Structure 1
Amino acid sequence: MWDYVVERRGLIAFQAFQHVSLVVQCVLLGSLLAVALAVLVYRNPTATSAANGFSAVGLTVPSFALLGILLAPFGFGITPAVIAITFYAALPVLRNAVVGLAGVDRSLVESARGIGMSRVRTLLRVELPLAWPVILAGIRVSTQMVMGIAAIAAYVLGPGLGGFIFSGLSRLGGANALNSTLTGTIAIVLLALVLDLLLVLVGRLTTPRGIRV
């Protein structure tokens, strides 16, 4: 296997970069959409329940099925991969963002409003910073989850390390089939660990000191 990796190190590095780039961009987009939706619904119990229900139901949709459905309107390539990965990336963040914002002590919010802060300023200066650790936990879960889904996106010819896995599985028993599958799988696991460590560092740098655990 070592010889297999060394001979293809350039291709592995390129596809690893593609994989990380796809995941990071989709997680960022999904997180922005999820937080924006959470801001709109967290004050309304009915809307909050609907958002949590959507998040729970969305996670039950098989990624293979969703990618297959997206093939009809978008065809093969990066578009269906981005849509599917962004969809799954947003779900854990949405749930955590709603929980985090709804869990902010209302007395702190009222105090901020009492000293003249507008609703928007209160949201940006008080509520979102206090909810940030919970939101970041959702982003970490989302990142780990979509690292695997990004590999499945190779089914629709999406970029990334999933190509090694599908290539190996398609010719099991053949030369280097197992090496190809293991290379893609191990590389994805290692990249997931690295991204999680980076998010832990981001949390340390961005969480207000007074609310760090």
Structure 2
Amino acid sequence: MWDYITERNSQLLYQSYQHLSLVIQCVLLATVIAVGLAVVVHRNPRIASLAGAVSAVGLTIPSFALLGLMIPVAGIGTATSVVAVTFYACLPILRNAVVGLAGVDSTLIESARGMGMGAVRTLFRIELPLAWPVILAGVRVSAQMSMGIAAIAAYVLGPGLGSFIFTGLTQIGGKNALNSALVGTIGVVLLALILDAMLLLVGRLTTSRGIRA
């Protein structure tokens, strides 16, 4: 396996970069979308429940099926991969964002309003900072899940390490088939661990000490 890795060192590094870049960009986009939706719906219990139900149902959709259905619409390549990964990444973040925002003490919001803060300022100064640890937990789950979805996106010629896995699986019994599948799988796991460590650091830097305590 070591010889296989050294012979394809530059290709592995490039596709690892592509894989990590795809996941990070999709998770960032998903965070913006999901938190925005949560801000809109969290004050309405019925709509908030519906958002939770949609998140749960969405996670049951097989990724292969979604990718296949999107091919006629978005074609084969990066665009389909981005849409699919972003879709799945939104779901855990949306659920956690709704829960986090709903869990903010209403007396704190009323106190902020009493001090003259408007709705937007209260949202960014009080609600989102207090809900952030719960939201970030959803982001971490989303990032780990997105690593696997991005690998499956190689089915539609998406970028990343998934191509090594699919190449190995389609050439089972051939030379280097096992090495290809193992290298792709281990690479995805390592990238997932690296990204989770990065998110832990982001959490420590962006969460106030009072909330962490």
| TM-score calculated relative to the size of structure 2 | 0.99
Match of 2:169 in 1: 169
CA–CA distance in 2 between the matches of 1:75 and 1:39?
33
- SS of equivalent to 1:159: coil
Q: Does 1:111 align with 2:111?
A: yes
- Structure 2: unaligned runs, 5 residues or longer: none
- Deviation of 1:40 (Å): 0.2
Q: Does 1:4 align with 2:4?
A: yes
Match of 1:46 in 2: 46
Aligned length: 213
- Structure 1: unaligned runs, 5 residues or longer: none
- Deviation of 1:73 (Å): 1.2
CA–CA distance in 1 between the matches of 2:75 and 2:144?
26
Q: Does 1:131 align with 2:131?
A: yes
Q: Does 1:152 align with 2:152?
A: yes
CA–CA distance in 1 between the matches of 2:73 and 2:191?
31
CA–CA distance in 1 between the matches of 2:155 and 2:187?
18
The amino acid across from 2:2 in the alignment is W
CA–CA distance in 1 between the matches of 2:105 and 2:84?
35
Match of 1:27 in 2: 27
Match of 2:71 in 1: 71
The 5-angstrom pairing of residues 83-94 of structure 1 reads 83-94=83-94
- Deviation of 1:43 (Å): 0.3
Instruction: Give the 4+ runs in structure 1 shifted more than 6 A.
Output: none
The amino acid across from 2:55 in the alignment is S
Using the aligned pairs only, state the percent identity: 68
When the two chains are superposed, the root-mean-square deviation of aligned CA atoms in Å is 0.5
| TM-score calculated relative to the size of structure 1 | 0.99
CA–CA distance in 2 between the matches of 1:202 and 1:44?
30
